[in-house]
Structure 1
């Protein structure tokens, strides 16, 4: 039996696809290197910064495409690769569908604008400054008022391991079981940071979802996946006579093992790439 890793190796079998290639072309094709997905190799902080800004802009465009924008609510941030005490964020009032990489604003943790000429959402500053200060590993943080995330948050409960996808968040998301209004105070930001802990995601009761990641790609993918997991659980519970009590849960051991496969940084990063390529092809101006 072939090893599981053989899918990454070039076969030794010699064939010619009749009608599709010549013998010379077949030989060349058999020698072509296998391209394995890898994290991008960026040569300096400037290239890294541009890359991260483009990824964040793509995230906003995708959220608009999915209908997850809600007026002026919602924000994503990432730490600057050169100045980790500063972070880039969308400016206040700009439609997600129009955000370009060059539109992002650079702020410090006091809320002062370092680069840019537009103001930022005060709630964005309060939430994200607390998260970035409390979680040095959190390069990117994502929060917006998506439909199923905010609907699920009204239940005041965590996601259950009912699908392979939801296992990514098994024992790796928190619940902020309170709602104190729009997040305008530093104290409320501290409460959110405590509730998040060392998890990758947080359900804010009566509010919505928040995710963090070690890359921009991972944080955005976690949000997309978590929103869909909320939708899946709501639909499944609605189809059961006894609601959530009838759901068939994946066992603790299997859920943890599955989380290691589908919920880590590398898996999340690569899950985002097809969506990124799609939205860039559809809306190339986001790279500007």
Structure 2
């Protein structure tokens, strides 16, 4: 006799419990995690000279950690991160912040849930931005961005002043990512690991969308199924396990050795 069919919720609950038990927990401090995030972005070909940015909200009110200006993602080490205040004065460490990180302040002010921001001009997401195309969730690996990727259709200019921060933060709203027309993208995560995870999957999604369009009009994933996949693939255990895997990958590339 065949066993009775169980509801998907049964398997979801079971898998969640087993992941909590079996997936390795890796402890890293803020600067080490940020260094790995930068190396992962470089490994996935998301560098854009010095245009790429990463920041993590500091425990100090109104401050954040960021990579000191003048370094690329591929050469970031834990000691290369500085803490800056609202006027981008350096509080901890040596060096200056990328002036374009000023708009991060507005996102942090508007979104208490956001603890990390990544912004790059990665090749495929920038291609969507150049074409002024929003993301279409048409495949399972895109679903972490389902109803979570905003679109800003007009470029406000180089984001070194306050106006750009207002425009970008308002366009982002409550979502975790945004494609910035004529510019690039931004991800806003509850953690550095989540923002990195979203960045990698957003770049992959952009690449997939551009390639798939050669075969015809894209068909969005069913909204209910996409929402279910979004929540599943953004489980903290999955996000952190994936981030840890990417960290191990960077150690397989001699030039990316953090030690």
TM range (shorter): 0.7 to 0.9
Deviation at 1:65, TM superposition (A): 2.3
Cα distance in 2 between the residues matched to 1:105 and 1:188: 23
How far, CA to CA, are the matches of 1:109 and 1:280 in structure 2? 35
CA distance in 2, matches of 1:133, 1:7: 36
The residue number in structure 2 matching 1:19 is: none
Q: Which residue of 1 aligns with 2:145?
A: 169
SS at match of 2:48: coil
- Superposed CA offset, 1:64-122 (max 9, x none): 22322122111101012x32432110111112221101110111122111012211211
Structure 1 residues 96 and 188, CA, compared in 2 at 3 Å: closer, same or farther?
A: same
Superposed displacement of residue 164, structure 1: 0.5
1:236 and 2:222 aligned: no
CA-CA distance at 1:183 after TM superposition: 1.0
Q: Which segments of 5 or more consecutive residues in structure 2 lack a partner in the other structure?
A: none
**Aligned equivalent of 2:77:** 100
Matched, 1:36 2:25: no
Q: Could you tell me which residue of structure 1 aligns to residue 48 of structure 2? A: 70
CA distance in 1, matches of 2:17, 2:160: 54
How many residue pairs match? The answer is: 249
**How has the CA–CA distance of structure 1 residues 214 and 38 changed in structure 2, closer, same or farther, with 3 Å as cutoff?**
farther
Separation of aligned partners in 2, 1:215 and 1:38: 17
Closer, same or farther in 2 for the Cα pair 1:265/1:186, shift >3 Å?
Answer: farther
Runs of 4+ in 1 over 6 A off after TM superposition: 5-10
- Paired with 1:95 and 1:154, the residues of 2 have a C-alpha distance of 23
CA distance in 2, matches of 1:9, 1:190: 41
Q: CA deviation at 1:280?
A: 4.0
Q: Which residue of 2 aligns with 1:193?
A: 169
- Among 73, 79, 86, the alignment partner of 1:109 is 86
Of the two, which has the highest radius of gyration? 1
Partner of 1:89: 66
Cα distance per residue 1:224-256 (max 9 Å; x no partner): 00010000000000232xxxxx22221122212
The change in CA–CA distance for 1:9 and 1:142 in structure 2 (over 3 A counts) is closer
Q: For 1:110 and 1:155, locate their aligned partners in 2 and report how far apart those are by CA, in whole Å.
A: 34
Structure 2 CA distance, aligned partners of 1:108 and 1:146? 27
Q: Give the structure-1-normalised TM-score.
A: 0.79
In structure 2, the partner of 1:181 is: 157
Q: Give the RMSD, CA atoms, in angstroms.
A: 2.4
Distance (Å, rounded) in 2 between the aligned partners of 1:276 and 1:225: 16
Alignment of 1:244-263 (within 5 A): 246-263=217-234
